Structure 1
Amino acid sequence: MTCIILSGGSSRRAGGLNKAFLTIEGETFIERKIRQFTPLFDELVVVVREPEPYRHLPALIVADQVPGQGPLMGLCTGLKKSSSDINFVTTVDSPYMNPELTAALAN
């Protein structure tokens, strides 16, 4: 199963700050999500506006196919890049997702 992490938003409500790189408890939102979800899934696909700031991360980083079209377009991009028939989708700006609950949902 693949986990698709949507991180391609424009962050209008966050004043233009890239929410993926906000920090919590010493790590960025995206680092936290990847750390928590790597053991749960066979593959992680992170859909972003601009791939370059994410290149150091241990996940498949893909540019939103049509930027600025919202989360459904990000989902389409992630599904095209996924190698799985079954996918779990989440957003980068939910740093308090419970990994145990996520595992239960995924199973």
Structure 2
Amino acid sequence: MEISCAILAGGQSRRFGSDKTVAKLYGYSFTEILSIKLSKISSDVMVISKDNSKFDFKKNVRFINDEFEAQCPLVGIITALKNALNEWVFITSADSPLLKIEFVNLLYNDLDSYDVLLPVIDGKIYTLNGFYHKKILNILLDYFKKGTYRLLDIYPELNIFYFDDVEKIKKVDEGLFSFININTKDDYEQAKKIAEKIGLGI
């Protein structure tokens, strides 16, 4: 695939109680699990955060510091689009280590002339689980400079395809594990149980 991939690993992890981007499942940090998975479909995998020195793995990935100090997903996406080697960038967050590569492939097959392609499950838009095109970089920068950081406030200006065929998604990710965000210790324990059943996929 001629795509880039970006793992946004700059969250503050307030509810988790410690930096979840380096929390581990079976010896691998959430971020490393994603980097291994995504490197199977892309030769350009980026880890984007405020401090990349915290990661203890180096293989198959580029570590890039956030473009701006502001703490929000918009900054991570701007940084990803600016540094990506390919036109399309799959964006995910480090707290989604159960992501299924088959799901990424499914979305990839529907890329067209859109600006963004995002999955929608039960009316919820998953902003950090989809594809963004480099051509929107300047639009995102303009909004950021005007102080608009919320992605949902920017989307009306973009040509977005909302992938809402849940049955099609379930054919490649029956348990919808790609949409599990680990935000709390309880989420963490649940993710361990799921990983024990289905493996890490690496």
**TM-score of the superposed pair, with normalisation by structure 1:** 0.89
Alignment check: 8 A CA contact 2:45 2:62 kept: yes
Q: 2:51 aligns to what?
A: 50
Shift of 1:37: 0.9
Q: Distance in 1 between matches of 2:52 and 2:29?
A: 16
Which runs of 5 or more residues in structure 2 are unaligned?
A: 110-202
Q: 2:37 aligns to what?
A: 36
Q: 2:21 aligns to what?
A: 20
**2:93 equivalent among 83, 91, 94:** 91
Greater Rg, structure 1 or structure 2? 2
Alignment check: 8 A CA contact 2:22 2:54 kept: no
Q: Distance in 1 between matches of 2:57 and 2:92?
A: 20
Q: 2:104 aligns to what?
A: 102
Q: Distance in 2 between matches of 1:32 and 1:55?
A: 12
Q: 1:62 aligns to what?
A: 64
**RCO higher in structure (CA 8 A, sep ≥6):** 1
Superposed CA RMSD in Å reads: 1.5
Q: 2:10 aligns to what?
A: 8
| Amino acid aligned to 2:81 | L
Q: Distance in 2 between matches of 1:54 and 1:82?
A: 20
Give the share of equivalent positions with the same residue, in percent: 28
Alignment check: 8 A CA contact 1:55 1:61 kept: no
Q: Distance in 1 between matches of 2:9 and 2:69?
A: 11
Give the 4+ runs in structure 1 shifted more than 6 A: none
**TM-score of the superposed pair, with normalisation by structure 2:** 0.49
Alignment check: 8 A CA contact 2:9 2:93 kept: yes
| Amino acid aligned to 1:71 | P
Alignment check: 8 A CA contact 1:37 1:99 kept: yes
Count of residue pairs the alignment pairs up: 106
